[in-house]
Amino acid sequence: MTSMPYPQKHLLVRQVAQQQLVVCSEDTKVSTAVGLMAKHCIGCVVICEGNRPVGIVTRRDIMRITVSGQDLEQIAVSTCMSSPVSTVSTTATIDEAGLRFIAEGFRHLVVVDESHNIFGMLSETDVVNSQGVEHDLFLRSVSEIISKDALIIPEHETVRLAVERLETTGHSAALICNGKDIVGILTENDLMVSMAEGDLDLPLKDFASANLVSVEADLSLYNARKVFRQHSYHHLGVKRHDGEVIGLISYSDILRNVEMDYVYRLKELLNERDQALALSQHNLKLADKVMNASMEAIVVTDLEAKIQRVNPAFTEITGYEEWEVLGKNTNILSSGRHDKTFYQDMWASLQSDGQWQGEIWNKRKNGTVYPEWLTITAVENDAGEICQYASIFSDLTEIKKSEARIKRLAYFDELTRLPNRKLFNDRLNLSLGYAQEHNHQVALAFLDLDFFQRVNDRFGLEAGDQVLREVGRRVESILEEGDTVARFGGDSFNMILTDVDDNTAVSEFLNRLLSTINQPILVSGAEINLTVSVGVSFFPTDATEPEDLFQCAEVAVKQAKDFGRNSYRFFSSEQHQLVKSRYRMANDLHRAIEAEQFELYYQPKVTASDRQLVGVEALIRWNHPEQGFIPPDEFIPLAEDLGVIDQIGYFVLREAVRQCSSWWKLGYEVPVAINVSAKQMQRRDIAEEILEVLEEFQLPSRLLSVELTETSFLHCLEETRVAINILRTAGVRIAIDDFGTGYSSLSYIRNMSLDVLKIDRSFLVNIEDSEVDLSIVASIIDMSQAIGLEVVAEGIETETQFGLLRELNCNQIQGYLISRPMPADTFVDWYRSQA
């Protein structure tokens, strides 16, 4: 057995804790707390009520408030402190505190005495430094812990920007650069000093550590720690042998590496202690615990089948308490369903084989008979003689119910109890056969709830399930005899309507259906109002096969949604042609990818102030061999449905970056913007893919912008947030495109790290004649610029529109007034003529 890894087995918390604490009261202003942190070079302030700790405010809390724009002079620390405070007693051992840090994930514990009065502060650093770590530090080098994603900020940027970058990325420090040269380090403590002095808008060069102290990458952590202590720094630059700074390390990085060994050793110690404890327990005690914890009933009898011991599961299954059955024969459980021969064969098997297993029917205390799976094993003593019998049995009632339930699930939806796809298809085939035989019509209706995702987002999945059950109940309640409603899954339903030779009667039913679903649904005290879009196809006029009927109904429901939702539409021959056309285009689209029929056009963007070129937007065009150029709004939605949008998006990315790199190498620095769909953003590797292509063509990231649609924020918010952070950290600019056409919300924009907002042309076409549209556009520009976004107006076609936008201080203009989209060669000629 391995011995305790550290010699200080009984070192107490009070011997290590830092007793010099900086404290304040709950009503202290945040600005005062900032001043205290700056003055004492500390990372947190403890909030006390009398002499008792009630909260902690850290530098990270302060930075979060600063980024949110709140006035530090006006708010009290109580609004942002972490509470309640996690404490540890002065009499606890260092190992006990170490286990607290591991189990609870804390980095600081407030130390209190027996009266719960504040004594000091204990950090993971204190715990690790109290152990013998020099050997571990000798074995590791700086290169093993260097931060490979160090944040680098130009020295001309402001302290305020640095606060936002550090808070957004979670870094504790940043490297300050002058061009390509690293000239200093900016730490959280520097920021506290700046905040205390109110100098957030001064350049970083005035606050970054003036002397950049660096160590070489192959230096041991032991010697690196000596450098840290020599200079009293918490961050150092890391350089190569040629002197170039390649990264950043912190004192915390060293400690974290040592902490991993310490955590491993503590866990090893705990494991050894648990093993020793387990071995010291008697086998009977262990068996007793297993017996009591078992979900199966256990009965121990003597050789005459008199009960000696039962477990809690026995009482749960049979209803008999232990005191009621002790000393009694097991035949009190007999159901009477088995004859004497059954039990004779059972005991004969026990005598010859030492066990018996099978299904048996027994009786509970309340008289009900139930099935159980029983296993009886003979228990031998040390002499090899049978001295007891141990029986284990489980109630098969639920299993048999489950078998029935599984059969039911084969034909019914578990959530709504409506028929599922299998049963619905069976009934549809029967209905079509009967209708064909008797020359009748059958209607197939497809119901799709409008914006149902909003119900889940706002009220939760459980509330969404309640709504689906209620919708299913309402639809079923108004159906005629012989009709069927089913749910295949999701938020859609399907109906079979028989005896529908009169289309007027179908319309009347569908109007009643819409009205029924439109009635408010009460869930958890809240009223939920739903609408539904319905598509209907008829047998045999629209289609004669079930699969074709489904396709026609789906086309009709899409028409209902395009019409404005909360309506129904019948399938028509025109729609049938659209379906065929869509299928043809789908086949052509697959061939277009292989045949490289796509190319990019580029539309310029200029400044509103002096019409100077600021970049281009790359727009894809499909050069169909028969139909000519097909605009993207016709084939991009189809590409998303077919699952080929990733291939098309990758083509756009590579071609745009390649072309931009080619221009850049010719001396034309023209930033290019590409559109990325919500479907692409759902892939977790989209950001890495973009950065790999930039690296492949050696294009500076500042020359690429990514334009996202609003649906990216609605359907894949977290994936979008992660991708944006990766790209912006690398220098790629991010824009929100077509703002105002979908689920526009300034909360998305304010909470996301964006650079540009593009106003959709639908808001701009009437600004010459509509005061309302002009006011909306002015408001969008003002609010966007207030939160630091550049604004681009797209679709501008007249000088009057251009002039109005210039008066509104719009940043950039894009549209036919400037130029139509053009091929790369044509753009170069245009660019030269503009120059």
Q: Is it the case that residue 319 has pLDDT exceeding 70?
A: yes
Query: For residues 129 and 372, what is the distance between their CA atoms, to the nearest angstrom?
Result: 60
Reading the block at residue 102, the tokens are: 């591991």
Q: What is the pLDDT of residue 1?
A: 37
Contact 539, 497 (CB under 8 A): no
Of 88-92, 112-116, 692-696, the poorest mean pLDDT is in 112-116
Distance from first CA to last CA of the chain, Å, rounded?
80
Sorting pLDDT into bands at 50, 70 and 90, what band is 234?
A: confident
Q: Is it the case that residue 818 has pLDDT exceeding 90?
A: yes
- Name which residue leads in pLDDT, 286 or 517: 517
Note the helical H segments in 519-644.
546-563, 573-595, 632-642
Percent of the chain residues topping a pLDDT of 70: 89
> What angle do helix axes 59-68 and 159-169 make, rounded to 10 degrees?
110
**Average pLDDT score over residue span 626-655:** 84
Q: Is it the case that residue 178 has pLDDT exceeding 50?
A: yes
Q: What is the pLDDT of residue 2?
A: 38
**Average pLDDT score over residue span 273-278:** 58
Q: What is the pLDDT of residue 411?
A: 84
**Average pLDDT score over residue span 714-733:** 86
Q: Is it the case that residue 562 has pLDDT exceeding 80?
A: no
Q: Is it the case that residue 122 has pLDDT exceeding 50?
A: yes
Residues 211-232 have pLDDT tens digits of 678 888 888 877 887 887 777 7
**Average pLDDT score over residue span 437-444:** 91
- Cα–Cα nearest to 416, from 467, 350, 359, 357: 467
Q: What is the pLDDT of residue 41?
A: 83
Reading the block at residue 60, the tokens are: 């990270």
- Cα–Cα nearest to 45, from 91, 93, 108: 108
Residue-wise DSSP of 428-490 = HHHHHHHHHHHT--EEEEEEEETTHHHHHHHH-HHHHHHHHHHHHHHHHHTPPTT-EEEEEET
Question: 393-402, 403-412, 708-717, 776-785 — which one is most confidently predicted on average?
Answer: 776-785
Query: For residues 571 and 576, what is the distance between their CA atoms, to the nearest angstrom?
Result: 8
Q: What is the pLDDT of residue 5?
A: 39
Q: What is the pLDDT of residue 545?
A: 92
- Name which residue leads in pLDDT, 144 or 694: 694
Residue 699 phi, psi (nearest 5):
-100, 130
Contact 26, 48 (CB under 8 A): no
Q: What is the pLDDT of residue 3?
A: 37
**Average pLDDT score over residue span 507-522:** 92
Residue 190 phi, psi (nearest 5):
-60, -40
Q: Is it the case that residue 351 has pLDDT exceeding 90?
A: no
Q: What is the pLDDT of residue 4?
A: 37
Element of type H or E holding 701? none
Percent of the chain residues topping a pLDDT of 90: 31
> What angle do helix axes 251-280 and 94-104 make, rounded to 10 degrees?
100
Sorting pLDDT into bands at 50, 70 and 90, what band is 264?
A: low
Sorting pLDDT into bands at 50, 70 and 90, what band is 8?
A: very low
Q: What is the pLDDT of residue 279?
A: 56
Contact 406, 397 (CB under 8 A): no
Q: Is it the case that residue 78 has pLDDT exceeding 60?
A: yes
Of 396-400, 426-430, 724-728, 828-832, the poorest mean pLDDT is in 396-400
Of 210-224, 591-605, 675-689, the poorest mean pLDDT is in 210-224
- Name which residue leads in pLDDT, 232 or 539: 539
Sorting pLDDT into bands at 50, 70 and 90, what band is 677?
A: confident
Query: For residues 739 and 247, what is the distance between their CA atoms, to the nearest angstrom?
Result: 39
DSSP β-ladder status, 484-489 and 442-449: unpaired
Q: What is the pLDDT of residue 777?
A: 92
Write the CB contacts of 597 (distance below 8 Å, at least 6 apart in sequence). Answer: 591, 622, 623, 624, 625
Of 291-295, 607-611, 698-702, the poorest mean pLDDT is in 291-295
Residue 418 phi, psi (nearest 5):
-85, 165
Q: What is the pLDDT of residue 207?
A: 62
Of 58-62, 99-103, 705-709, the poorest mean pLDDT is in 99-103
- Name which residue leads in pLDDT, 584 or 742: 584
- Name which residue leads in pLDDT, 234 or 624: 624
**Average pLDDT score over residue span 43-67:** 86
